[in-house]
Structure formats: structure tokens, C-alpha cells
Amino acid sequence: MRVPALFHWHGKIQPGISDALVTGLDIVPTVLRLANLSANTDSLHGVDIWPVLADEEEGVRTSFLYYSGGARNWTGALALRYRNFKAHFYTQGTVQFHISCHIIALYIYC
């Protein structure tokens, strides 16, 4: 699912449209960078998206795993987005495809 996001910072962010893959998890690392604050990045799941907002890069990630957090009695990955593709593992109340999320993450992040 693509959800629009609006960012405004007069003189810093130019008007435009981006197809970059970002999530709400990316807000905290980006704000910390802009505030010149450091944090334990191992505990943050997001990435700094300032290069995307500043129009310096087209995107900082190519993939993302969507987890349910226990919704619908399913605790694994609900979907995997890779570039413009998205694979759904849980549809209409049943698990369509079951795979270890650790194996998926290994392929994405190595």
C-alpha cells in the first residue's frame, strides 16, 4: 500500500514527488540527525531519510518487511516489499505462504 506523506521545511525541502520507499519508522532517525543528536542506532529500525527529503538521493532502501504485531492471529511477516513488488503472505484470513522471516531478512539485508 502506498500512503502519501507530506514534508515541509521552507528553504530546505523543495516541492516535489518521490517514489522512495520510506516508513513511519524513518522519522525518528531523520529528526535525530537534523537535531544533531546521537542515538543507539541498533535500537532504531528506521533509517535516516534526509537524503531523500533533500533530493540528494532517490531512496535509501529497496525492501521492507511488514509485520502484523499479532493482528488477525498471525504473528509473522504479512508482506514483503521489494522495489515496486509486494508479496502478501496473509490474505483473506488464511496464510497463503509461510516462510521464516529470518531467511527473508538474510536475503534483504546482506
Q: Locate the domains of the chain by residue range.
A: 1-61, 63-109
Of all residues in the chain, the percent with pLDDT exceeding 90 is 14
User: b/e string for 47-75 if b means 16 or more Cβ within 10 A?
Assistant: bbbbebbeeeeeebbeeebeeeeeeeebe
**Which of 32-46, 55-69, 93-107 is predicted with the least confidence, judged by mean pLDDT?**
93-107
What's the whole-model pTM score? Answer: 0.66
**What φ, ψ does residue 95 adopt, rounded to 5°?**
-85, 120
Confidence of residue 53 (pLDDT cuts 50, 70, 90): very high
- Cβ proximity of 49 and 26 under 8 Å: yes
